[in-house]
């Protein structure tokens, strides 16, 4: 029996969680390199182009790329990330188009995260340009004044380290922190407490909640729910009937600003993958050699990724997207984990045999999951009893 202690009887302390989001990150890194473009509509996207004398205009782009990031000046034309570049060119033909340089973005990503960790070490990585930070130790009583001071300190540290601006939201949990880091962009600080929910959060569209995407938002709207407040007022059982047991209850709790997820400071990847969209749709037979070369290259890249990160994988997956945008996947689980390009290629080839190829192919991808570290138990001799049975 454990002795009864204060931890068992006291209510949990309110948490203080920050979400820090870099402002128009990729585009802002490009502006560090090309300060003469400051104030202009600039979009980042597409494949590496040949460097020319002048900056290419969006109107001159030909291809299948999408916008990765747009400056706020470009967004004023109605373009946004994820939009096809050809479509964006209609809205903002004179915008400058720069191809993405992930090497540079990763460099600035490391810089800003290191700067934050100097101040607050409990950091959860959420991709290249955003993080959650547990301010618990720095702000034990969750005071709004202290939160604002820490947020200012974080912003200043990030700017000193990178020359870039970021926006910060501070709230009692990750869901609300994420929501409010977006409320005053760029370079904003937004502090939200549970008491602010009705006035500051409930009027917002439900779509702003991280986890409500285009499909769920459209379905909610069909059902007469647009704002977060309307979602909070909905009957949980009714939501479950329309969205499923788990997602229905999650929707309701999210609208009430209820989120207990911890800040996760370390995690292991579950899968690694490589994929490519061809510049033109390839015919399974007529373009066989081109397809085959791409396939091999993807497997080699993936094997290199695995080796660099120190993983093997037991399940190999193949992904195809046809010219009509239909996507199919096939998985193949091996008896032993593998990491070599030829082994991956062989297993993915088995997957490919199970897909009827009746249309041109737009995209080809290879994935490795069920990851383990090579020294886990791969090299260990088989269990003697088992070995005896099979010899």
Partner DNA sequence: TCTGGGGTCCTAGGACCC
CB of 319 to DNA, least distance (A): 8
* Burial of residue 119, with CB atoms counted within 10 A of its CB: 0-12 exposed, 13-18 middle, 19 or more buried: middle
By the rule CB under 7 A, 30 interacts with DNA: no
By the rule CB under 7 A, 215 interacts with DNA: yes
CB of 261 to DNA, least distance (A): 10
| Tokens read off for 212 | 């409500």
CB of 327 to DNA, least distance (A): 6
Q: Which of 121, 198, 211, 382 binds DNA (CB under 7 A)?
A: 211
Residue whose entry in the numeric block shows the structure tokens 């497997």? 299
Out of 30, 73, 124, 130, pick the active-site residue: 130
Question: Alpha-carbon distance 189 to 132, whole Å?
Answer: 14
Name beta bridge partners: 319.
329, 365
Looking at the Cβ atoms of 109 and 139, the one nearer to DNA is: 109
Q: Which of 178, 192, 232, 312 binds DNA (CB under 7 A)?
A: 178
Looking at the Cβ atoms of 198 and 269, the one nearer to DNA is: 269
User: Considering only residues 294-353, where is the footprint of DNA by CB under 7 A?
Assistant: 305, 314-315, 325, 327-333, 351
Looking at the Cβ atoms of 31 and 85, the one nearer to DNA is: 85
By the rule CB under 7 A, 212 interacts with DNA: yes
Number of residues that bind DNA (CB under 7 A): 59
User: Considering only residues 358-387, where is the footprint of DNA by CB under 7 A?
Assistant: 362-363, 365, 367, 369-370
CB of 104 to DNA, least distance (A): 15
Q: Which of 266, 270, 353, 380 binds DNA (CB under 7 A)?
A: 270
Looking at the Cβ atoms of 89 and 197, the one nearer to DNA is: 89
By the rule CB under 7 A, 140 interacts with DNA: no
By the rule CB under 7 A, 87 interacts with DNA: yes
By the rule CB under 7 A, 217 interacts with DNA: yes
Cα dihedral 23, 24, 30, 31 sign: negative
CB of 231 to DNA, least distance (A): 13
CB of 170 to DNA, least distance (A): 17
Question: Does residue 239 contact residue 252 with C-beta atoms inside 8 Å?
Answer: yes
Q: Which of 269, 288, 382, 387 binds DNA (CB under 7 A)?
A: 269
Looking at the Cβ atoms of 126 and 253, the one nearer to DNA is: 126
By the rule CB under 7 A, 82 interacts with DNA: yes
Question: Alpha-carbon distance 139 to 264, whole Å?
Answer: 18
Question: Does residue 249 contact residue 240 with C-beta atoms inside 8 Å?
Answer: yes
CB of 286 to DNA, least distance (A): 19
Question: Does residue 58 contact residue 96 with C-beta atoms inside 8 Å?
Answer: yes
Question: Does residue 119 contact residue 153 with C-beta atoms inside 8 Å?
Answer: yes
Contacts of 347 (CB under 8 A, 6+ apart): 316, 332, 334, 338
Q: Is 130 a catalytic residue?
A: yes
Looking at the Cβ atoms of 139 and 295, the one nearer to DNA is: 295
Residue whose entry in the numeric block shows the structure tokens 């128009």? 24
Binding site for DNA (CB under 7 A): 63-66, 68, 81-82, 84, 86-87, 89-90, 126-130, 178, 209-217, 244-247, 269-277, 305, 314-315, 325, 327-333, 351, 354, 362-363, 365, 367, 369-370
Give the catalytic positions in this structure: 130
């Amino acid at each position: 029996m454990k002795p009864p202690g204060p931890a068992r009887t006291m209510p949990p302390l309110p948490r203080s969680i920050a979400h820090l989001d870099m402002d128009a990150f990729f585009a802002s890194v490009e502006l560090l390199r090309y300060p003469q473009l400051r104030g202009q509509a600039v979009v980042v996207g597409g494949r590496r182009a040949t460097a020319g004398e002048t900056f290419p205009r969006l109107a001159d782009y030909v291809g299948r790329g999408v916008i990765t990031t747009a400056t706020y000046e470009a967004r004023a034309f109605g373009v946004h990330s994820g939009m096809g570049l050809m479509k964006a060119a209609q809205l903002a033909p004179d915008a400058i188009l720069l191809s993405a340089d992930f090497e540079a973005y990763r460099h600035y990503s490391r810089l800003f995260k290191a700067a934050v960790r100097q101040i607050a070490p409990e950091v959860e990585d959420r991709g290249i340009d955003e993080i959650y930070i547990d301010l618990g130790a720095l702000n034990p009583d969750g005071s709004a004044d202290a939160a604002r001071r820490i947020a200012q300190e974080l912003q200043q540290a990030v700017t000193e380290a990178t020359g870039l601006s970021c926006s910060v939201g501070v709230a009692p949990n990750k869901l609300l922190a994420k929501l409010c880091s977006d409320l005053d962009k760029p370079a904003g600080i937004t502090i939200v407490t549970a008491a602010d929910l009705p006035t500051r959060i409930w009027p917002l569209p439900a779509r702003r909640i991280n986890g409500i995407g285009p499909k769920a938002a459209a379905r909610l709207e069909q059902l007469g729910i647009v704002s977060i407040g309307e979602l909070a007022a909905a009957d949980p059982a009714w939501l479950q009937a329309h969205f499923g047991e788990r997602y229905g209850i999650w929707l309701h709790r999210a609208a009430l600003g209820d989120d207990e997820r911890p800040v996760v400071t370390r995690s292991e990847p579950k899968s690694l993958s490589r994929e490519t969209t061809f510049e033109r749709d390839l015919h399974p037979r007529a373009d066989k050699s081109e397809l085959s070369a791409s396939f091999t290259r993807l497997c080699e890249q993936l094997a290199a990724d695995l080796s660099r990160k120190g993983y093997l994988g037991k399940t190999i997956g193949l992904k195809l997207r046809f010219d009509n945008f239909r996507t199919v996947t096939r998985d193949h689980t091996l008896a032993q984990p593998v990491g070599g390009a030829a082994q991956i290629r062989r297993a993915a080839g088995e997957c490919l045999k199970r897909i009827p190829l009746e249309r041109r192919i737009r995209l080809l991808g290879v994935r490795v999951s069920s990851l383990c570290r090579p020294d886990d138990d791969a090299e260990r001799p088989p269990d003697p009893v088992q070995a005896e049975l099979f010899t």
